[in-house]
Amino acid sequence: MKARIFEIKRFAVHDGDGIRTTVFFKGCPLRCVWCHNPEGLEMKPQLGFYQHKCVHCGACVTACPQNAHTLQGGKHTFDRSKCVGCGKCENACLNGALRLYGKEMTVDELLPLLLADREFYETTGGGVTLSGGECLLYAEFCAELLKRLKEEKIHTAVDTCGFVSKSAIDQVAPYTDVFLYDVKAFDEDAHIRCTGQSNKRILENLQYIDGLGKAIEIRIPYVPQYNQQEIQSIAEFLSKCKHVKKVQVLSYHNYAGSKYDALEMENTLPKQLPSEEEVRTAQACFDVL
Ligand code: SF4
Ligand code: SF4
């Protein structure tokens, strides 16, 4: 059994308590306009070409079996339609201009990488977080990985958008210490505007996890022109949940522009950023829960 991973981030401090290693799974059922991980949206592997780092050495041209790279008149062209995501050009490029997002890994390959930082987890109350994209698109794989981590007494967190099947939740819940759960809007139309999908299943699944008695941390990406009007209704909804331990309003940033360019994806990032004051005001709605 394999899953497609696009990043393994060590020493993460924003993905649950303590120092953690976060595993990012590739593929997501939502299309949030503010997504800062565009490399995690598609299930298929994607090559990022960071043009500003290219020194036109031609190593990728030689390495690619698909002839996807060409150098002509000092100009490097990459034909994405020919790329099969083998990663040979990434290995050949010594300048970091190419990055393959989405490498297949087994649980046995991942586990030693995650256990390497056990000491940091133990001294800081940290652990391992599965994220994405949407990690629960690989529910069976996640369940096996989480089970093995629990056998090693590692604290586990699952970061989910909630747009998943109940059976996916059932598979991972026994081995998950805390769910990090994204809530973007309460009103269904507002949610569709933000993410392209209804939030019915997301809110139902949140209640379902709450009913299982699992600890939940809510994360609300705050993008004023999309969900400023939603904060109060989200707070009312969450006040009825029994196992929500923390609610975090996350200030939106638009640093991901270069990744959209490198992947030749349409950059949907809103230009307007929230002020610190706006984020504090939004957060205050939850501090009374
Ligand atoms: S990932 Fe493989 S197929 Fe794609 S451009 Fe690089 S070498 Fe060619
Ligand atoms: S190997 Fe890297 S630096 Fe060399 S031409 Fe290809 S992308 Fe540019």
CATH number at residue 233: 3.20.20.70
pLDDT at 73: 86
Which of residues 59, 84, 101 is at a domain's end? 101
Residue 12 and residue 131 in one domain: yes
Residue 159 and residue 225 in one domain: yes
Residue 283 and residue 170 in one domain: yes
Task: Classify 170 in phi/psi space as left (phi over 0), alpha (psi -120 to 50) or beta.
Answer: alpha
Three-state SS annotation for the chain: CEEEEEEEEEEECCCCCCCEEEEEECCCCCCCCCCCCHHHCCCCCEEEECHHHCCCCCHHHHHCCCCCEEEECCEEEECHHHCCCCCHHHHHCCCCCEEEECEEEEHHHHHHHHHCCHHHHHHHCCEEEEEECCHHHHHHHHHHHHHHHHHCCCEEEEEECCCCCHHHHHHHHHHCCEEEEECCCCCHHHHHHHHCCCCHHHHHHHHHHHHHCCEEEEEEEECHHHHHHHHHHHHHHHCCCCCEEEEEEEECCCCCHHHHHHHCCCCCCCCCCCCHHHHHHHHHHHHCC
Substitution candidate for ligand 2 out of 51, 89, 95 with most atoms within 8 A of CB: 95
Residue 66 and residue 180 in one domain: no
pTM of the predicted structure, to 2 decimals = 0.93
Residue 168 forms part of a structural domain: yes
pLDDT at 252: 85
Residue 225 forms part of a structural domain: yes
Substitution candidate for ligand 1 out of 89, 103, 104 with most atoms within 8 A of CB: 89
Residue 212 Cα to ligand 1 midpoint, Å, equals 45
Residue 61 and residue 130 in one domain: no
pLDDT in tens for each of the 289 residues of the chain?
A: 999 999 999 999 999 999 999 999 999 999 999 999 999 999 999 999 999 999 999 999 999 999 999 999 888 999 999 999 999 999 999 999 999 999 999 999 999 999 999 999 999 999 999 999 999 999 999 999 999 999 999 999 999 999 999 999 999 999 999 999 999 999 999 999 999 999 999 999 999 999 999 999 999 999 988 998 999 999 999 999 999 999 999 988 888 999 999 999 999 998 888 889 989 999 999 976 5
Write the CATH number for 85: 3.30.70.20
Which of residues 61, 86, 101 is at a domain's end? 101
Residue 76 Cα to ligand 2 midpoint, Å, equals 8
pLDDT at 289: 58
The residue segments making up the domain with residue 192 are 2-43+105-255+266-287
Residue 32 and residue 157 in one domain: yes
pLDDT at 105: 97
Residue 5 Cα to ligand 2 midpoint, Å, equals 24
Residues with CB under 6 A from ligand 1: 47, 63-64, 66, 68-69, 83-89, 100
Residue 93 and residue 122 in one domain: no
Q: Whose CA is nearest to atom 6 of ligand 2?
A: 60
Q: Whose CA is nearest to atom 8 of ligand 1?
A: 64
Number of domains in the chain: 2
Atom of ligand 2 nearest to the CA of 53: 3
Q: Whose CA is nearest to atom 6 of ligand 1?
A: 89
pLDDT at 119: 96
Report the C-alpha gap between 100 and 221 in whole angstroms.
Answer: 27
Atom of ligand 2 nearest to the CA of 96: 2
Nearest ligand, CA 74? 2
